[in-house]
Amino acid sequence: MQHFDLLVIGAGSGGVRASRIAASLGAKVAVAEERYLGGTCVNVGCVPKKLFVYASHFSDLFSQSRGYGWSLTDPQLSWQRLRENKDREIARLNGVYGNLLDKAGVTLLEGHARLLGPGRVMIADQEVSAERIIIAVGGWPFVPEFPGREHVIDSNEVFYLDDLPEEIAIVGGGYIAAEFAGIFNGLGVKTHLIYRRELFLRGFDREIREFMAEQMQAKGIELHFNTDVDSITVTDTGARHVALNNGKSLTVGQVMYATGRRPLLDNLGLENTSVSLTDKGTIAVDDGFETAEPGIYAIGDVVGRAELTPVALAEGMALARNLFGEAGQPVNYDLIPTAVFTQPNIATVGLSEELAREKYTDIAVYQSSFKPMQLSLTDSPERCLLKVIVDVASDKVVGCHMAGPDAGEIIQGLAVAMTAGATKSDFDRTIGIHPTLAEEFVTLREPR
């Protein structure tokens, strides 16, 4: 039986980072993986989604180019070529992750891992032992039970469609649903977004959410809020007939469900340990990521603190350093920048206006909405919205929000400033880069 100082279950972003750091600190490390290297992000998440987002932008760019003197005749999309090119890039990245593990001296064990007890794991038909185990298995799309559930695709399967439908209904109100609504709309598919609550993107700044609903509708996406699916049937032509709970119906070529994800704990053998779950179905861990079973830890989406790739990376790095090196800095969940790759993009760091009003006695809100300069020679109705939220008592910037071109690229820099404790005075004395959209963040002078 092979024995390791550390066995990581799951070769996603968090698991790979933890294993590489631990190996660099002298530990004998193995990673168990039954599917693909890189986890959700590389294979059916951030990376292929962003590639599809790039592809979907070209319809706008082709249209807008006319205002700048370009003349293009009938551009055509080949979905098959896009999918094949995406698959080739993902395969390349799988190889990169494999090389990273190999160069770090980490043993890759291929197959499903199941805990047999503390320190013992069965991987395919091989039993191994380890002093410490990290569970980093990530999540899996969740589709609720309803009549016709078998006729939908989820947010994994969407990356492997054989053909692009002429019309699609996307069910859900999170960032995955909103992003794919923009992707399909940009690729020329008539797109419906169905969400059971009054407004999508819950947890983001309310004004940003309302602004994005307006922008998406202006681009032709049909939003069905306060609406849910009762049932789905397939017609004689293979179309999906979607019966809604408001008495209306849609007939579309495809239905995609983006209704959340659940920890991928199937047949993991947790019952053979003292590992416990939270009320949300995630693995319960303490501040050091240790479960109720000593020596077994968990990181990433499976613990559900913030289901983002950079958070899993930070957790994996901190845990590996705490276990095999000098204690690392604790992971700070207070200022996590995030982006939604809709069209236009959304990016945010810090508190929404609603949460800031709950936390602080007095806040000042600075904001601006305008047509980006790059669209000034076009007939595009797209606008952008920027917000800076300040705690008046300390002058500290406590929230930055943006919906507009390259929002993620811009907010990343502001996240550095906020992490360093920037005040509104710091923003005001910063010289802007002109002419850019980003300079607006340092030229906002009057609160709303």
Note whether 343 and 379 are within 8 A (CB): no
What Cα–Cα distance (Å) separates residue 419 from each residue in 198, 278, 339? 33, 30, 17
- Please name the residue that has the structure tokens 């008592």: 393
Under 8 Å CB-to-CB from 412, ≥6 apart: which residues? 337, 347
Q: How far apart are CA 299 and CA 316, in angstroms?
A: 7
Note whether 282 and 137 are within 8 A (CB): no
Q: Report DSSP state, residue 38.
A: B
Q: Which residues of 37-76 are buried (b: 16+ CB within 10 A; e: fewer)?
A: bbbbbbbbbbbbbbbbbebbbebbeeebbeeeeeeeeeee
Quick check: is 434 catalytic? yes
Q: Which residue(s) pair with 369 in the sheet?
A: 385
Given phi > 0 = left and psi -120 to 50 = alpha, else beta, which region is 285?
Answer: beta
From 57, 112, 224, 434, active-site residue: 434
Instruction: List the catalytic residues.
Output: 434
